[in-house]
Amino acid sequence: MRLILMGPPGSGKGTQATRIAEAYGVPTISTGDIFRAKVAAGTPLGLSAKAYMDAGEYVPDHITDAMVRDRLSRPDCERGFILDGYPRTLAQVGELDSMLADQAARIDAVVVLNADAEQLIERMLNRALAEGRADDTEDVIRRRLAIYAEQTAPLIALYATRGLVEEIDGTGKVDHVTGLLDSALMRRVSVRGEVG
């Protein structure tokens, strides 16, 4: 199972990724979580990423790509993985293609979690109260949504041309969305069966 989870900030990618990863016994690779861990540890990479993250901007591709390449090359990714938050730019898609080619692997599905902007903003403001993420202020949230629309949403059309996209409604309760996601993954398994 090699899965890309895509969706705007606040769409619940991280929560769903954790659940699916457990069910399928593969690791989740969340670039946002890895960056936050490096910021918290005060590593040089964390220091260079922090200003971008606090502003709601994407960390430059060369930094993100190298970090993902390193993570995907570890043995626990051999049987599959769930990417949460990568790729987010067209250039990152190209890099991921090359990482997969190196491993003679391919993506099974790109699942997109959809939700409308007002709901996303409300969720993230609530999360800010619970978790205190530095980038969950209203201004930064709006910036992140705008950058997603501009730089990441176009990736959906690109992956659709490869026949990989499953779009699901991310607005329901967590369990309900997990159910939709499970069914979408079942559909992919049968599509692949037909294709061979």
The answer to whether 17 and 111 are in contact (CB under 8 A) is no
**Per rule CB under 6 A, is residue 86 in the interface with ligand ADP?**
yes
Q: What's the DSSP call for residue 116?
A: -
Bridge partners (DSSP) of residue 4 are 83, 110
Site for ligand ADP in 39-58 (CB under 6 A): 52-53, 56-58
The answer to whether 162 and 191 are in contact (CB under 8 A) is no
Site for ligand ADP in 116-145 (CB under 6 A): 135, 144
Q: Give the residue among 164, 167, 156 at the shortest CA–CA distance from 195.
A: 164
Query: Of 39, 59, 115, 181, which lies in the binding site for ligand ADP, with binding defined by CB under 6 A?
Result: 59
**Per rule CB under 6 A, is residue 12 in the interface with ligand ADP?**
no
Taking the complex as a whole, the smallest distance from the CB of residue 111 to ligand ADP amounts, in Å, to 15
Q: Which residues of 12-33 are buried (b: 16+ CB within 10 A; e: fewer)?
A: bbeebbebbbeeeebbbbbbbe
**Per rule CB under 6 A, is residue 9 in the interface with ligand ADP?**
yes
> Considering 19, 69, 127, 143, which one is annotated as catalytic?
127
**Per rule CB under 6 A, is residue 64 in the interface with ligand ADP?**
yes
The answer to whether 52 and 58 are in contact (CB under 8 A) is yes
**Per rule CB under 6 A, is residue 24 in the interface with ligand ADP?**
no
> Considering 2, 71, 144, 188, which one is annotated as catalytic?
144
**Beta strands across the sheet bearing 28-30:** 28-30, 81-84, 2-6, 109-114, 165-169
**Per rule CB under 6 A, is residue 35 in the interface with ligand ADP?**
yes
Active site residues: 13, 88, 127, 133, 144
Residue numbers at the binding site for ligand ADP (CB under 6 A) = 9-10, 31-32, 35, 52-53, 56-59, 64, 85-86, 88, 92, 135, 144
